[in-house]
Amino acid sequence: MLSFFSSCAGFICEQIAETRDRRLNHPPGQLVDVGGYHMHIYCTGQGSPTVVLDSGLGDYWLSWYKVQPRISQFTRVCSDDRAGLGWSNTSPYSRTSKIFAQELHTLLQRASIPAPYVLVGHSLGGMNVRMFAGLYPAEVVGIILVDSAYPHYEQRFPPSANQFAASIHRELDRQGRTMAIGIPRLMGWCGTPPPEPQSMARTVECQRQCFREIHEEWAGFDEDGDQLQATAPLGNMPPVVLSHDPDVLFLPGLPADVARDVNKAWESMQQELARLSTNSSRVIAKGSSHYIQWDRPDVVIEAVQKVLGQCRAAQSASQP
């Protein structure tokens, strides 16, 4: 009986907290109908090409909060929330890189954000932007991969790393099941990093749909790899590969021995990404973990400036 009343109290407190958060925080961009459900996109600045920022697994527009304001000083830049994350509605479609790329394309078109695009993808977002470029090559003039995931990367990790990842996955599912009674909010399992926009982060992360979306994105990684390997190569569009410091933990919380093996495998895959084109370039973000856009936003911004400069020079040269 006590457990029942505790659950009821938790449910009521969670509803009050969610209502308060939504009253205090609103989506900064626009909600766009992409076919019966709405997705959130946030654009700032002026100029062409437009820079499009795609986040890693379970992340949304706030993951670029250190980068977007500075890029907007020299061109138009847009960040979005994949369906089910941030301010976006859930999607009726499977959560794979091909669907992500198609949904992003529809979002850009219906939000009247014309090509050409420079795509910037972090982690899972790196696979998504490569898929986008494969599906819509005429619309993409540059790609920046920010510590990008690699097709079937989990097969390259040692068993201990995959066992650790599976335990995290199970923990996220457990947390998601207790979201309705407010346990993740109470325990600080949601809406904590990044610290600066914490109130906004709590509004969109402390929801059941966020945990469910993370589960679905994680479950789709294997299919993502198959889909990406089936796409066309990048052709004459060389990527800029930004990689985290091999001497820094890939992600906080990994046991030291697991982190060492993961870093070694990840470094090998980053080198392979840099060989996608004979004209690729690679930068190691010294002192940075996997979240380069948080630890070394200057590295991401400099890469964007470099690619934009190349694109604009090529455009000027092609004009009569």
What pTM did the predictor assign? 0.88
Give the DSSP per-residue string, 92-114: SS--SHHHHHHHHHHHHHHTT-P
Coil, strand or helix: which one is 116? Answer: coil
d(CA 19, CA 72): 32
Domain of residue 91: give its range: 2-309
Q: What is the pLDDT of residue 177?
A: 63
Banded model confidence at residue 4, pLDDT cuts 50, 70, 90: very low
In a domain, 287, yes or no: yes
In a domain, 114, yes or no: yes
In tens, the pLDDT along 183-207 reads 666 556 666 655 567 777 777 777 7
Q: Is the model's pLDDT at 227 over the cut of 60?
A: yes
**Distance of alpha carbon 224 from its chain centroid, rounded?**
14
Q: What secondary structure letter does DSSP report for 231?
A: S
Place of tokens 């199970």: 170
243 Cβ partners below 8 Å, 6+ apart? 147, 267, 270, 282, 283, 284, 285
In a domain, 320, yes or no: no
Coil, strand or helix: which one is 217? Answer: helix
Q: What is the pLDDT of residue 1?
A: 46
- Beta-bridge partner residues of 143: 119, 239
Tokens of 150: 């690699």
In tens, the pLDDT along 262-313 reads 888 999 999 999 988 878 899 999 999 999 999 999 999 999 999 999 888 8
Number of structural domains (the chain) is 1
- Beta-bridge partner residues of 284: 243
Q: What is the CATH number of the domain that holds 248?
A: 3.40.50.1820
